[in-house]
């Protein structure tokens, strides 16, 4: 008897879940949300602010018109900004030049792959 009551309850709950159109309402269109770049936040000095500004200008004016074919995560521009923040302007720029030379995807065995993005992980 208990089992029959349970099955009735289960069946009605599951049926309601199955045909609830709210589950499918968000599927068709995915509105494009504005990208927020974490790397450009939390600047602690003027140099970082200048580089963050350059980074945001590049992202807005150039990168937005580009193909979306990054090899690495973070991308070269984000790497550059993070490197400047971490090592200072001079060493950061050198690290960025080094990264730009490595940005060809020809040695994937040297890096860990980010399974979500399917990109090679290379932090400064």
Partner 1 sequence: MLRIVFGLILSFLAQVGLQGQNLEETFQLGKTNFLLGNDQTASLALERAIFFGQGKYDAEAFEMLGQIANRASQFEQAARYFGSATQTAIDEVVIGRNTLFKASAQIRNEDFQLALIELLGMSDALPDSLIQAREFLLGVSYFNIQNFTDSRIHFRQAIPPEAKNRMAQIDSLFNALESIKHPDPKKAKLMSIFLPGLGQFYAGDIKNGLNSLLLTGGFFTIGFIVAINYSLVDAMVAVVPWIQRYYVGGYNRAAGIAENKKKSKQDKVYQAILQTAVPN
Does the footprint of partner 1 cover residue 15 (CB under 8 A)? yes
Candidate list 38, 42, 45, 65; residue touching partner 1; CB under 8 A: 65
- The residue with tokens 């068709």 is 28
Cα distance between residue 39 and residue 77, in whole Å? 10
Stretch that binds partner 1, among 23-31, 82-90, 95-103, 112-120 (CB under 8 A): 23-31
Of 122, 119, 34, 49, give the one whose Cα is nearest residue 81. 49
Asked if 32 touches partner 1 (CB under 8 A), the answer is: yes
Residues 103/71, Cβ–Cβ less than 8 Å: yes
Residue numbers of the site for partner 1 (CB under 8 A)? 6, 9-11, 14-15, 17-21, 23-25, 27-29, 31-32, 60-62, 64-67
């Amino acid at each position: 008897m208990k089992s029959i009551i349970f099955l009735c309850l289960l069946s009605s709950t599951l049926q309601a879940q199955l045909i609830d159109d709210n589950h499918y309402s968000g599927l068709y269109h995915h509105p494009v949300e504005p990208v927020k770049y974490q790397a450009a936040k939390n600047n602690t000095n003027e140099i970082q602010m200048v580089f963050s500004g350059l980074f945001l200008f590049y992202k807005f004016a150039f990168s937005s018109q580009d193909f979306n074919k990054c090899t690495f995560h973070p991308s070269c521009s984000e790497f550059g900004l993070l490197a400047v923040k971490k090592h200072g302007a001079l060493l950061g720029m050198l690290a960025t030049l080094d990264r730009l030379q490595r940005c060809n995807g020809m040695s994937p065995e040297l890096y860990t792959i980010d399974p979500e993005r399917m990109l090679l992980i290379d932090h400064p």
